[in-house]
Structure 1
């Protein structure tokens, strides 16, 4: 009989066979980690791409907002000013000599000889004043003078007689000295009476009012029978009898801005125009300046002499004075609408290379109401904003546009903010 087979004991795996049973588990764990890392990376990439997209979208929105918020402006280069320019300033004509005529004695007006508009010569009689009190005082003073002269003559005779008798010791020296003193006192009394007579003679002479210079009577403020007061120390207000003006040569006074003060020299001429003489020009010659700038108006007072032998021009008339000046530095002309009045001073807005606004300080010269002359602050290649908005600030981005109507300049595009610009830039 065959023997039953004994069961075979389980065989122990060799060391080489043990890792083979764990490798599939290790590989599956590693794959899971890698897959997890890949998923995390993919999630991060997706999240990052979303953030980048949103940031990019925000940047685009900000850029678009800034671009839309940038004001649209029209720019033009400034116009080059002329090296020699004509300056027009207002002026007032005045008489070369202008004087009120007052009375120097009291009385009543007896007669006047010239009315307003009359041409008189120096020394010509204008009026007579009747002063009977002064006449009587003069007669009394003359009588007093005659009495004083008689007394002085008698005293001098007595003094001479006593001096001769003193030589023979016929009279005392005391009596001689007394008569000599009386003679000297009488002589002094004569001088006093003579001075009083001369004073009254001058007052009587003032009864006739004469013209002090050649001129025209521009006012007559008295009439026959009117009471005349000399006014000296009486407390009565003075009233002029006549007003006399010498108008053969007229004085013209002009306040010239400080910027042109160095160009004004005595001897230069200026043209004068008047509304009542259309198309005509009169010539004035500069004779003197005040040589001082008025700190209030920053102007220099200058005087021109104007020949008026024909008598066509009247003192007190308004005129426009045209004179030419040479510019020491280049100047530029810009419209008045380009000016911006800020608290820090006058500014003109220009556009820089990066399309950003720049507010530059300027110094102005001539201003004709529509355009102004800029003598400092601009260059020939400056891009001047023609009508800047009130809210424009330094460094702000701007968008340059072309005017819809080129012939209209900046007025067409800036019309919507013209009123605000004129009123709000201050």
Structure 2
């Protein structure tokens, strides 16, 4: 039985087939290498992108969150007079106690001063003697002058008698002045109120030894005029220019929690206390009803008057390190730029900035650790408009 025989494959076809297989293999290898290179490039780009920190930015807010400042204050009487004795002696009586209202010139106590009384009696007796001597000297001079025409007395004697009369009159004047001085002192045996007010202190009692002058102990009485009060408050140095004379302030007191009182700024010490860095200011507060008490604590809310609107930033944006107080900003090239700032007020969640920033700055709300000047960052969100560069500004002008 005959068998079918296939014709042999030519060498030329085998060569073509091998060449095609080799080209396909080379293309597969090249494609794989290129795919790996692209994958490596993308991985590198992704890794580099992940290495750049992402930050959220926002511009400083130009707003007046609270145009006032609350400070502790102290109430004082507008007029306050410690009453000391001008004469020494013993207190015989007093007629007013603490809380009593007094009128100007009202007698509030009396002092018995026997030593002064005896001095006054002696001075009056000395004055009488000096007056008698002066009268005798004047009569003698008159008689001597009548004898001058008969040359019974010399001119020298007349001159001597005239000088003696002048001396006696001077002694009379001196004695009279001493009597008036002692009489004036005797008038101080009655202690009187210097003005209308309230007795806020009494530090003496009947029978107490009284020493003249203000260096021998506490005042016998203290009289205060409380119809108008002074409010003293220590203002931090950086707020002093914002508080003008005549500005109004709101006063609150713990004894009247549901009421407010209005005071007016009327004086400033114009000096900064070295120990506290504050300036003392005085406010006037009407107290015609007598409801408020001198010496009491008060909360003073002062109105701040400013020429410019302050900038505020989140408290989380502040960085305090060895370089001082700084804020991290992002420039037009998305690179970090640190700026030193000074704080005007700490408002809790927000900080009022006194200097160092502008309204166009892009503030990093929560700066990550380890960032430095010039570091590249990625800005996320639309919290702030990207500032224009110098070249962009020139293009706009062109």
Displacement of 1:153 after TM fit?
A: 0.8
2:246 is aligned with 1:267: yes
**TM-aligned CA distance change 1:66 to 1:98, over 3 Å:** farther
SS of aligned partner of 1:162: helix
Partner of 1:314: 293
- The one-character-per-residue Cα deviations of 1:127-179 (angstroms, maximum 9, x if unpaired) are 11111111111111111111111111111111122122213323222322222
Partner of 1:199: 181
Displacement of 1:67 after TM fit?
A: 5.2
What CA distance in whole angstroms lies between the structure 2 residues aligned with 1:171 and 1:221? 69
Displacement of 1:80 after TM fit?
A: 2.8
- The one-character-per-residue Cα deviations of 1:241-300 (angstroms, maximum 9, x if unpaired) are 112221111112333344444444333322222232223221112223344555665544
Q: Which residue, out of 320, 323, 326, partners 1:347?
A: 326
2:90 is aligned with 1:108: yes
Asked if the contact 1:330–1:375 (Cα under 8 Å) also holds between the matched residues in 2, the reply is no
Asked if the contact 2:84–2:213 (Cα under 8 Å) also holds between the matched residues in 1, the reply is no
Alignment of 1:6-155 (within 5 A): 75-82=57-64, 85-155=67-137
Asked if the contact 1:107–1:130 (Cα under 8 Å) also holds between the matched residues in 2, the reply is yes
SS of aligned partner of 2:212: coil
Partner of 1:8: none
Partner of 2:193: 211
Partner of 1:377: 356
**TM-aligned CA distance change 1:146 to 1:308, over 3 Å:** same
SS of aligned partner of 1:166: coil
Displacement of 1:398 after TM fit?
A: 5.5
Partner of 1:162: 144
Asked if the contact 1:350–1:359 (Cα under 8 Å) also holds between the matched residues in 2, the reply is yes
**TM-aligned CA distance change 1:180 to 1:83, over 3 Å:** same
**TM-aligned CA distance change 1:154 to 1:343, over 3 Å:** farther
Asked if the contact 1:361–1:377 (Cα under 8 Å) also holds between the matched residues in 2, the reply is yes
What CA distance in whole angstroms lies between the structure 1 residues aligned with 2:369 and 2:198? 57
**TM-aligned CA distance change 1:209 to 1:344, over 3 Å:** farther
Asked if the contact 2:243–2:302 (Cα under 8 Å) also holds between the matched residues in 1, the reply is no
Alignment of 1:241-260 (within 5 A): 241-260=220-239
**TM-aligned CA distance change 1:153 to 1:262, over 3 Å:** same
The gaps in structure 1 that reach 5 residues or longer are 1-48, 403-426
Partner of 2:263: 284
What CA distance in whole angstroms lies between the structure 2 residues aligned with 1:135 and 1:105? 11
Structure 1 range deviating more: 332-341 or 136-145: 332-341
Partner of 1:29: none
Partner of 1:45: none
What CA distance in whole angstroms lies between the structure 2 residues aligned with 1:177 and 1:189? 19
Partner of 1:325: 304
Q: TM-score under structure 1 normalisation?
A: 0.70
What CA distance in whole angstroms lies between the structure 2 residues aligned with 1:272 and 1:328? 25
**TM-aligned CA distance change 1:171 to 1:388, over 3 Å:** same
Structure 1 range deviating more: 80-89 or 268-277: 80-89
Task: Tell me how large the CA RMSD over aligned residues is.
Answer: 3.3
Partner of 2:209: 227
Q: TM-score under structure 2 normalisation?
A: 0.74
Asked if the contact 1:290–1:301 (Cα under 8 Å) also holds between the matched residues in 2, the reply is yes
The structure number with the bigger radius of gyration is 1
What CA distance in whole angstroms lies between the structure 1 residues aligned with 2:107 and 2:154? 61
Displacement of 1:187 after TM fit?
A: 1.0
Displacement of 1:318 after TM fit?
A: 2.5
SS of aligned partner of 2:337: strand
What CA distance in whole angstroms lies between the structure 1 residues aligned with 2:303 and 2:218? 45
Displacement of 1:215 after TM fit?
A: 1.7
What CA distance in whole angstroms lies between the structure 1 residues aligned with 2:296 and 2:346? 24
- The one-character-per-residue Cα deviations of 1:308-328 (angstroms, maximum 9, x if unpaired) are 101111222222333433432
Displacement of 1:401 after TM fit?
A: 7.3
